[in-house]
Structure 1
């Protein structure tokens, strides 16, 4: 089944798949995919030393009796400069998410954005020159909110450069689209060509 999306400043509409822009929102699936995507970006390089790895002698620090508390080596975790009891080690935070789940989550997010009126379809996103003022004027005319995500089939250099000095504006091509960028956007401004490419990708 298909549904129609209005194109901004045009009498035309765009026929799109109901499965991608009109499906039911699955909060659990979206949460799982967003967490997995964020975890995949974690370095996982935190490292601490255990009692055995700390530099220092393991000789008993003082005689067993007559000196108060009984202690062994000063590398023990109870001493300043000693090892860490459950020391962190480098590890991967990657979580398995198969392709079908990922695509279903992306479609679920797009459908929810569409239901909330946060997707604006435009014929094109072009700027004649790489100027921040041009980008600000364009976003104002589109009423894109504070954190807009601009999606084109192939983002031009002018578009990237114009948005570079605007901290909350993101520019992506379809290949660079991800669930975290979609979830974090106040609105998504997307070209008609990009919509078609997204449909091909998520079909």
Structure 2
């Protein structure tokens, strides 16, 4: 299949397997959830009854005082332990490399079908000025894109830093969450070829 390159009047020949794949919502959902879970720290920790500092002395007699209690470390008391205390854990989910790449292909293909994938010859700014980048994006008719370049320049990163809905990634930094969350994806022709080599 071919992708139209904006502003040049020519088309870029690409693989159907990467940019023409059928969309699988279940696969994409699984990969996105796994990617987000991998970023979770999982460091939450609470003290259980056995770990709280304090005396274990029985503070009242067994009978004649209402409820029976052992010590003040019980969960019902202020300063006591936590029932079913949270402990550090890993939220990581295993995703095969083949599944991950297939999900990226599915997302790119769906973006292409919806007309939200825009391919340009090159995308850069001469100096790190947000105003210059806003003007460039206005020419392409989008203000909340994910910009994917083969190797993004420092000026482009700095120009986009102050725009809350604009992200700049190189091909190595591409991930499913960024692709799914983008309103439009602007890719340079070189980046398209590099992505194709990676996913083919």
Of the three residues 73, 78, 82, the one matched with 1:80 is: 78
Counterpart residue number, 1:50: 48
Counterpart residue number, 2:156: 159
Counterpart residue number, 1:202: 199
* TM-score when normalising by structure 2: 0.98
Work out the CA distance in 1 between the residues paired with 2:59 and 2:105: 63
Work out the CA distance in 2 between the residues paired with 1:150 and 1:61: 66
* 1:174-193 → structure 2 map (5 Å cutoff): 174-193=171-190
Q: Report SS of the residue matched to 1:95.
A: coil
Work out the CA distance in 1 between the residues paired with 2:18 and 2:45: 43
Q: Report SS of the residue matched to 1:183.
A: helix
Partners of 1:144 and 1:189 within 8 A in 2: no
Work out the CA distance in 1 between the residues paired with 2:191 and 2:142: 17
Q: Report SS of the residue matched to 1:167.
A: coil
Q: Report SS of the residue matched to 1:44.
A: coil
Work out the CA distance in 1 between the residues paired with 2:81 and 2:127: 58
Q: Report SS of the residue matched to 1:189.
A: strand
Of the three residues 16, 19, 38, the one matched with 1:18 is: 16
Q: Root-mean-square deviation (CA), in Å?
A: 0.7
Q: Report SS of the residue matched to 2:26.
A: helix
Unaligned runs of 5+ in 2: none
Work out the CA distance in 2 between the residues paired with 1:61 and 1:134: 72
Aligned residues: 200
Q: Report SS of the residue matched to 2:152.
A: coil
CA shift, 1:143, in A, is: 1.1
Counterpart residue number, 1:93: 91
Counterpart residue number, 2:124: 126
CA shift, 1:80, in A, is: 1.6
Instruction: Verify: 1:40 aligned to 2:38, yes or no.
Output: yes
Deviations 1:128-174 (A, max 9, x none): 100000010011111124x2100000000010000011011100000
Counterpart residue number, 2:165: 168
CA shift, 1:81, in A, is: 1.4
Unaligned runs of 5+ in 1: none
* TM-score when normalising by structure 1: 0.97
Counterpart residue number, 1:108: 106
